[in-house]
């Protein structure tokens, strides 16, 4: 029961307490203006280069932008606590770590999901992209899976944040890696082999591919494999993140560097 | 002479500070490279090799704006957090002369990014950028960097009362890349966007750099870039005076 409270109430309280994102002065520029302009920018670049379609760039960038809340929020889970000098209090508590950190991930998944859906809707309106009605519901499911898998990666960055002070820099670098490697604006077939292979091991890659197929009229059955792979990749990162957090927590206690990183 | 010395010393001091900052220094160079890499891959799929060269030039300038936009908008908030904003305001020197060197230092970090992007394109993507008019290219780059820093100054001053100013600066990053024709020609944008583009100094700066690098007449665009930047500097100076007077009268300088 205690673990359940930590999972639900702890996660929600942490989300509300750690982020000033709930202010419209941050929420609107960060979660609406920026992603929509990223879609418009790359769609315009693609048009200028004579490559890709508006739908291709809309899906890729809208789904990839879920990574902003997923990566920044999760790394701030550690970085924000350190800045407020509450990290040691948090880690000295007897709370079980899995509900503690996975609980914090839940609102973040919802946040990432919401950002992508809003970007998809606004981007489609501006670019006049008509997504088939039959694809809407499966697309929502794919977006939710992508938000989950990206939050798994975010949990790994949270683990690294135990040792790295510059969490904003870390999250921006991971964001850039996802932008290049996950087939967001360039099909995997157009990337060098090693980059396409690396992309296959990252979150979002399979989800973006599945979303594009759905937008092209494919059935759920045709993309179920890719969605399953995305889910599996996300689960692996989630477990990896929890392991990293446990490892660096023990290391930080041993070397007394929790507040120093 | 004293003012020039102040600008030089302030710029150098801020450049050393920003150069050692992981966010302003390292990320200021890396972040535009991520976008440039994506853009190079996009253009490489196309059939026009000259478009790739043009994209390399445009992408290289993206970093100048990126480095300035995000950090410039939160410059005064940063000073406030460090408790040095009152000292800057109380200093006998003109306030703009204390802020402009900061945004100039940020734009100079962007200059590193410009060179890094061109080298990245040359050695990783084999994009042969041969500068047609080196002298004009150098002049266009310098004027563009100065213009972006003055735009950053206006952004910094405008955001003085805005606690979440960094979000404002970040939100301007991509729209300016798009509207100023860094990669997409202005003729490809909707007609109502073009007057907005003409009011922004980077539009003329990018056009001048592109003309100097790829062949064309850059000097008109260099002049327009300088003129629009001067207008931004004048507006920023007037605005900073009014905002500081207001903050002093209400005793809200230290409050955000």
Q: What's the pLDDT tens digit per position in A132-155?
A: 999 999 999 999 999 999 999 999
pLDDT at B196 over 90: yes
- From the list A33, A40, A176, the residue facing B34 with the nearest CB is A176
- Picking from A37, A61, A79, A178 by the largest number of B CB atoms within 10 A of its own CB, the best residue to mutate is A37
Q: How does pLDDT run across B72-112, given as a tens digit for each residue?
A: 888 888 888 888 888 888 888 888 999 999 999 988 988 88
CA distances from A192 to A181, A195, A196, A199, B106 (A): 10, 5, 6, 11, 34
Q: Do A41 and B167 touch (CB under 8 A)?
A: no
Measured between CB atoms, which of B43, B45, B164 is closest to A20? B164
Instruction: Give the nearest partner residue to A48 out of B34, B173, B183, using CB atoms.
Output: B183
Write out the two tokens for B167.
Answer: 């979000």
Residue A261 has pLDDT above 70, yes or no: no
Confidence band for B37, pLDDT divided at 50, 70 and 90: very high
Q: How many Å from the N-terminal Cα to the C-terminal Cα in chain B?
A: 35
Tell me if A29 and B178 make a contact (CB, 8 A cut-off): no
Reading the block at residue A186, the tokens are 């360039």
For residue A77, what pLDDT is reported?
Answer: 82
Residues 6+ apart with CB under 8 A from A225: none
What's the rounded mean pLDDT across residues A71-85?
84
Domain membership of residue A260 (yes or no) is no
Q: Count Cβ–Cβ pairs < 8 Å, chain A vs chain B.
A: 104
- Residue by residue, DSSP assigns B6-74 as HHHHHHHHHHHHHHH-IIIIIHHHHHHHHHHHHHHHHHHHSS-HHHHHHHHHHHHHHHHHHHHHHHHTT
Which 3 state secondary structure label does DSSP give A190?
A: helix
pLDDT at residue A18 in the model: 58
Rounded CA gap, B71 and B102, in Å? 10
A24 CA: distance to closest CA in chain B (Å): 10
Q: What average pLDDT does the segment A105-110 reach?
A: 90
Binning pLDDT at 50, 70 and 90, where does residue A212 land? very high
Tokens coding A130 = 């008509």
pLDDT at B156 over 70: yes
A244 vs A16, higher pLDDT:
A244
The 3 state secondary structure assigned to A63-103 is HHCCHHHHHHHHHHHHHHHHHCCCHHHHHHCCCCHHHHHHH
Q: What angle do CA B101, B105, B107 make, to 5 degrees?
A: 115
Residue B165 confidence class, pLDDT cut points 50, 70, 90: confident
- Joined together, the tokens standing for residue A156 give 């790994």
Range of the domain at A94: 2-255
Query: Which tokens hold the place of B128?
Result: 């042969």
H or E element in which residue A238 lies = helix A220-255
Contact A55, A129 (CB under 8 A): yes
Q: Which residues of B are less than 8 Å from A190 in CB distance?
A: 41, 44-45
CB contact under 8 A, A41 and B45: no
User: Does the CA dihedral B220-B223-B227-B228 come out positive or negative?
Assistant: positive
Q: Which of B97, B102, B139, B117 is nearest to B30 (CA)?
A: B117
CB contact under 8 A, B31 and A40: no
Per DSSP, the three-state class of A194 is helix
What is the total count of domains within chain A? 1
Confidence class for position B58, pLDDT limits 50, 70, 90: confident
Average pLDDT over residues A90-111: 86
Higher pLDDT, B66 or A54: A54
Q: According to the model, what pLDDT value does residue A128 have?
A: 94
Residues of B in contact with A175 (CB under 8 A): 34
pLDDT for position B179: 94
Rounded distance, CA B175 to CA B170, Å? 10
Q: Tell whether the model's pLDDT for residue A1 goes beyond 70.
A: no
List chain B residues with CB under 8 Å of A42. Answer: 38, 42
Compute the Cα dihedral for B203, B204, B209, B211 and give only its sign.
positive
A30 within a domain of the structure (yes/no) = yes
Q: Over chain B, what is the mean pLDDT? A: 88
Q: Does B22 have pLDDT greater than 80?
A: no
What pLDDT band is residue B151 in, cutting at 50, 70 and 90?
Answer: very high
Residue A183 falls within a domain, yes or no?
A: yes
DSSP code per residue over A23-62: SHHHHHIIIIIHHHHHHHHHHHHHHHHT-S-HHHHHHHHH
Q: Percent helix, strand and coil across chain A, each rounded to 5?
A: 80, 0, 20
Which contiguous run of DSSP H or E holds residue A222? Answer: helix A220-255
pTM: 0.90
Instruction: Identify the CA nearest to A43 among candidates B55, B183, B44.
Output: B183
Lowest mean pLDDT among A186-190, A191-195, A251-255, B159-163: B159-163
Report d(CA B11, CA B40) in Å as an integer. Answer: 33
Is residue A72 domain-resident? yes
Residues 184-203 of A with CB under 8 A from B: 184-186, 190-191
Q: Residue B55: what pLDDT? A: 86
Whether A63 is in a domain gets the answer yes
- Chain B residues in contact with A182 by the CB 8 A cut-off are none
């Amino acid at each position: 029961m205690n673990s359940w409270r930590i999972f639900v109430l702890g996660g929600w309280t942490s989300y509300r307490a750690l982020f000033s994102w709930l202010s419209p002065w941050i929420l609107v520029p960060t979660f609406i203006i920026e992603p929509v302009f990223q879609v418009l920018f790359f769609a315009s670049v693609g048009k200028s280069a004579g490559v890709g379609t508006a739908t291709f760039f809309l899906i890729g960038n809208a789904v990839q932008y879920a990574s902003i809340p997923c990566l920044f929020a999760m790394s701030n889970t550690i970085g924000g606590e350190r800045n407020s000098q509450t990290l040691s209090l948090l880690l000295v508590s007897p709370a079980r770590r899995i509900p503690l950190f996975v609980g914090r991930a839940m609102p973040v998944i919802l946040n990432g999901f919401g950002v992508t859906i809003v970007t998809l809707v606004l981007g489609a309106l501006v670019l006049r992209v008509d997504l088939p009605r039959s694809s809407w519901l499966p697309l929502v499911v794919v977006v939710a899976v992508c938000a989950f898998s990206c939050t798994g990666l975010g949990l790994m960055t949270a683990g690294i944040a135990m040792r790295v002070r510059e969490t904003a820099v870390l999250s921006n670098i991971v964001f850039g890696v996802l932008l290049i490697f996950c087939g967001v604006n360039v099909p995997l077939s157009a990337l060098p082999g090693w980059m396409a292979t690396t992309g296959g091991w990252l979150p979002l890659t399979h989800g973006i591919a599945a979303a594009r197929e759905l937008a092209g009229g494919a059935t759920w059955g045709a993309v179920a494999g890719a969605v399953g792979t995305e889910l599996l990749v996300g689960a692996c990162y989630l477990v990896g993140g929890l392991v990293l957090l446990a490892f660096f927590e023990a290391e930080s206690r041993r070397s007394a560097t929790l507040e120093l990183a | 002479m004293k003012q020039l010395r102040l600008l030089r010393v302030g710029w150098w001091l801020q450049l050393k500070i920003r150069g050692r900052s992981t966010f302003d220094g390292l990320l200021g160079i890396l972040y535009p490279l991520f976008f440039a890499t994506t853009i190079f891959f996009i253009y490489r799929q196309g059939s026009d090799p000259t478009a790739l060269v043009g994209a390399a030039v445009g992408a290289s300038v993206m970093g100048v704006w990126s480095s300035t936009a995000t950090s410039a908008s939160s410059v005064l908030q940063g000073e406030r957090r460090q408790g040095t904003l009152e000292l800057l305001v109380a200093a006998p020197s003109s306030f703009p002369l204390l802020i402009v060197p900061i945004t100039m230092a940020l734009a100079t970090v962007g200059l590193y990014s410009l060179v890094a992007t061109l080298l990245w394109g040359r050695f990783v993507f084999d994009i042969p950028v041969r500068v047609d008019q080196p002298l004009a290219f150098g002049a266009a780059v310098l004027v563009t960097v100065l213009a972006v820093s003055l735009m950053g100054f206006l952004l910094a001053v405008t955001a003085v009362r805005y606690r979440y100013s960094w979000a404002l600066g970040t939100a301007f990053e991509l729209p300016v890349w798009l509207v100023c024709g860094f990669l997409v020609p202005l003729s490809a944008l909707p007609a109502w966007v073009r007057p907005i583009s003409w009011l922004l100094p980077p539009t003329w700066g990018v056009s001048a750099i592109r003309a100097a690098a790829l062949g064309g007449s850059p000097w008109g665009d260099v002049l327009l870039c300088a003129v629009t930047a001067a207008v931004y500097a004048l507006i920023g100076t007037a605005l900073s005076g009014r905002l500081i007077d207001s903050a002093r009268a209400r005793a809200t300088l230290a409050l955000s």
